[in-house]
Structure formats: structure tokens, C-alpha cells
Amino acid sequence: MDYGAGNFCPRDFDRIGTHQMRKDTMEEKRAFGAPARSATVLIRVMVGWVFLSEGIQKFLFPAALGVGRFAKIGIPAPQFFGPFVGVVEIVCGALLIVGLMTRLASVPLLIDILIAISTTKIPMIAKAGAWAAMHEARTDFCMLLGLVFLLIAGSGTFSVDEAFHDHRNSRGEKVPIEGGQ
């Protein structure tokens, strides 16, 4: 079998040894793979900021974005659910920004955004067409995907969760935190 120039062949293992293989792998990771966990802060802050600001606006502009909007789109008990959703968005958005209980905070926001999409964007397809609905739903779908990402990935580095997490290896020894913290 031809492995080509620069490619690893199993019989080369004895010649180059495991140390060189490990060194090459570490250099490749540094060159081609920035740690995704440290980039998670960007998604956290983006998603958290949108929900935090939208929650605040539900109280600043209740007729357009809070109780009035909820009544217009047919949400039951809009006097209750308008402020309730505003508080959920403010609290959970702030939790995402600081990276505290990120996965847990993502769940109510996922419910929030799924209801928003199903009550405002899906009906728009029949009224205005698919392209108009997709245009109006772009932020909602970005928030949906951002929340799914955070639910899977967690808070990442540069977060309160990370600061309180006790990092230990399988032998119980403390290990350094990724990202230099």
C-alpha cells in the first residue's frame, strides 16, 4: 500500500517512536485547531445578549413587544405570559453571558424560541411566502442553533462555570484549565 510522502506508515512506528508522533500531533493541533471551548464565549455572549435585550424591551415597549404583542399573536393570558417571558429572557440571557448554568439556562430559552417560531414565523409562510418568512426568521433560527450548540457544548472557558469547576484527571490530580485560566 502506498502511503505517499509525509504520510504515516504503520511500520514506521518503530523508527520514529511515540514521542515524535505525539510532538507532531501537538504541533498540528496548535497550527490547525484552535480550542473550540475558548471560542464558545462568543456564542454565549451573542445569544445571551439578544435574549437579555429582547427581555428588557418586553418591559420598555409592552404594547409592541410584550403584552400587546402576545395578545395580537394569540398567546393565552398575555398579561401573565408577556412579563413572564420577559423575565425568563432577562435572567437566562444574563446567565448565558456570564456562563453560569449555561446548559440549564438554555432549556427555557429553547422553549421560548420554539414557541416564537411556531406562533410568528411558521404562520407567516402562508401569509407572505417562504422567502419573507425566512427573512423574518433569520435571528430566531440563529438563536435556536446557538442554544442547541450551548446545550451540547456547555459554557466553555471564560465562564463562571469554568472558574468553579474542579479540573482533575483520571488519577485525581489537578490539571491546568484550557485557555490559561
Please give the pLDDT value at position 171: 75
Alpha-carbon span 66 to 60, nearest angstrom: 9
Please give the pLDDT value at position 37: 75
- Angle ∠(37,24,35) on CA atoms, nearest 5: 5
Please give the pLDDT value at position 40: 94
Among candidate residues 89, 88, 65, 90, the one with its CA nearest the CA of residue 78: 65
Number of domains in the chain: 1
Domain assignment present for 1: no
Among candidate residues 28, 174, 44, 50, the one with its CA nearest the CA of residue 100: 44
Please give the pLDDT value at position 167: 65
Domain assignment present for 173: no
Domain assignment present for 64: yes
Please give the pLDDT value at position 162: 87
What's the pTM value of the predicted model, to 2 decimals?
0.74
Domain assignment present for 58: yes
Mean pLDDT per block of 10 residues along the chain (181 residues) reads 54 52 56 68 97 98 96 96 98 98 97 96 93 94 97 92 76 60 38
Domain assignment present for 171: no
Q: Residue 111's CB: how many other CB atoms inside 10 A?
A: 13
Domain assignment present for 175: no
Domain assignment present for 16: no
Please give the pLDDT value at position 157: 87
Domain assignment present for 153: yes
In a 3-state reduction of DSSP, which class is residue 129? Answer: coil
Please give the pLDDT value at position 164: 83
What is the residue range of 148's domain? Answer: 36-163
